[in-house]
Amino acid sequence: MVSQDFLRQLAGYGLTTAKILYRMPDHPDFLQTYVWQDYDLAPRFPELHRFLDFWRRELDGPLHSITVAHSQLIRPAEIVNVNGVLTLH
C-alpha cells in the first residue's frame, strides 16, 4: 500500500515547515515559538493557511510572525556518466 504522503509528493506537494512566533496570552510581552510541518503546495500554501485560520479562530495567542521553508522532496533524477569502476577491499 502506498502512503498518502508519497502520493501527495507525486501530486506536487512538498514538505513545508513554518516557524510561528506568537504572543503568550497571559504575558503579551513574551514570544513563544511553535513549529508546524506538513506537506503543502508552494507558493500559495493552502494547508498552512488552513492551519493559521484555525489558530486565529480557536487559540488565544495572537500571531507575531511566520517564517516558511519549503522543499519539494521528489525531483528529477540526475544521470552521471561513470567511466570506470573502483573496487575497495
Residue-level pLDDT at 23? 96
Q: 85 in a domain, yes or no?
A: no
Q: 83 in a domain, yes or no?
A: no
Q: 47 in a domain, yes or no?
A: yes
58 neighbors 40 (Cβ within 8 angstroms): no
Q: What CA dihedral angle connects 56, 59, 62 and 66, to 10 degrees?
A: -70
Residues 30-60 pLDDT 10s: 999 999 999 999 889 999 999 999 999 999 9
Owning domain of residue 31: 4-71
Question: Which residues face 38 on adjacent strands?
Answer: 16
Residues 66-86 pLDDT 10s: 999 887 544 555 556 667 666
